[in-house]
Structure 1
């Protein structure tokens, strides 16, 4: 499962597509403007293309949402598809930003929990649910993110949560980045784990069971004293969810002013 990066498209073209519903109407990329009433109306919209790409990726994996595969799914020629989305790079950015925008995070002025930690929890729950709905998202690096409305809405929300804590502006931004890094990374790993199980047909527990001989044949207690200590103290009871909660709670404890 190879990784793809967002943010690889041509900047001006990508921005115009990402913000297509937030600015003055534009014709699909690559199509000349038509006079009112002239010519045949387009059978698709950019929204149609993006939604179909997401559905294909959800059902068959990210690779299935190629330009050729998407054209076939929509019943149009590949060259016709390029008049709506000029390349696979722009398509990926549009798909990623669309699913980022699915998170039900209160916009400015909308009601939200009173406690700031509950507001962060809302971000955590929505982000993890998003990754579970779209497992392919775990295969996309957003080191250079799609700078669209979905991405900015998440950023605006976290900054607004932290603004009233009495932190400096630099601390507020740093705390928001820390939360994003922790939550998004953990959510991506959860989704990747489930994706591997789905694509291989083997559970993670079954994979480890096949390698059980490691402990009986190869494990050296003298070279791994810390692991051995935890084992004898019955310390390996925690689940991945326990580890996630522990890390997030400690992170928020560190952010909260004292």
Structure 2
């Protein structure tokens, strides 16, 4: 499965489409039907159909032809609403990013900053679980729409009041995004493989047990062997993955917390 990239559309056109519902006075030309014809669709319906196709059959199914067929229109008609697959991909990504139930400015949220990050983690993992195709899209150049910016604002606001300088607030937020989003994408891909194949990962490993009996050299891999004899590999792949995620997130937040002025003073006082 190849990775696709967001952010490839024409900038002005893409921004107008992404922000179409936030700036009602500025209607993007791409959403207007040809002169003399009554509109048969709404852009929101196009995006919804593309997401539903990708959810059900994978990202490749959400082609311009596939979406047009689902909506019962010609492909050329679809192009009057969204100019290309590049813009459609950005619209799909930003819409699912906006599904996360993250409190906005002035809305009630957990009082502790770590609990706020936990909420971001839970909502993001659930989002990838609903839309596993999202893990096949690189957002190195993200769709700069309301869904993306809402998530970014939430993370920054969770970290802004804990005493870090602004540049470290930004860096910490990027570190959290990188960890949570990457792990959530891998988790969604893992679940999707199990659904597609009908085989659990533990069963897949069990079929390859001959590796350990025939090919594995304990002298070449002494550390792996020592951990095995110490029962350090856990009960199953799913449980180990959950523990690994929890361990990584906790250590990341511990590291951020250690940089806050109060924690720094406590460390200095104890030394």
Distance 2:201 2:33 in 1: 52
Partner residue of 1:253? 254
The structure-2 alpha-carbon separation of the partners of 1:149 and 1:27, relative to structure 1 and needing over 3 Å to count, comes to closer
Partner residue of 2:7? 7
TM-score, normalising length: structure 2: 0.90
SS in 2 for 1:95: helix
Residue deviations 1:198-251 (CA, integer Å, cap 9, x gap): 233332222212211111111111111111111111111161111111110111
Are positions 1:234 and 2:231 aligned together? yes
Match among 136, 160, 163 for residue 163 of structure 1: 160
Match among 132, 141, 144 for residue 141 of structure 2: 144
The structure-2 alpha-carbon separation of the partners of 1:31 and 1:200, relative to structure 1 and needing over 3 Å to count, comes to same
Structure 1's consecutive aligned runs of 4 or more residues displaced over 6 angstroms after TM superposition are none
SS in 2 for 1:106: coil
SS in 2 for 1:165: coil
Question: What pairs up with 1:209-224 in 2 under 5 angstroms?
Answer: 209-224=206-221
Are positions 1:90 and 2:87 aligned together? yes
The answer (yes or no) to whether the contact 1:67–1:81 under 8 Å persists in 2 is yes
Residue deviations 1:84-115 (CA, integer Å, cap 9, x gap): 01101110000000000000000000000101
Partner residue of 1:59? 56
Distance 2:232 2:119 in 1: 30
Give unpaired runs (5+ residues) of structure 1: none
Deviation at residue 191 of structure 1 after TM alignment: 0.6
Distance 1:73 1:22 in 2: 27
Distance 1:142 1:202 in 2: 30
The answer (yes or no) to whether the contact 1:28–1:85 under 8 Å persists in 2 is no
Deviation at residue 33 of structure 1 after TM alignment: 8.1
Distance 1:201 1:233 in 2: 32
Deviation at residue 136 of structure 1 after TM alignment: 0.7
Please provide the CA RMSD for this pair: 1.4
The answer (yes or no) to whether the contact 2:15–2:144 under 8 Å persists in 1 is yes
TM-score, normalising length: structure 1: 0.95
The answer (yes or no) to whether the contact 2:6–2:86 under 8 Å persists in 1 is yes
Residue deviations 1:8-50 (CA, integer Å, cap 9, x gap): 111111111001111124155174786xxxx443121110100
Answer 1 or 2: higher relative contact order, Cα 8 Å, separation at least 6.
1
Partner residue of 1:22? 22
Q: How many pairs does the alignment contain?
A: 254
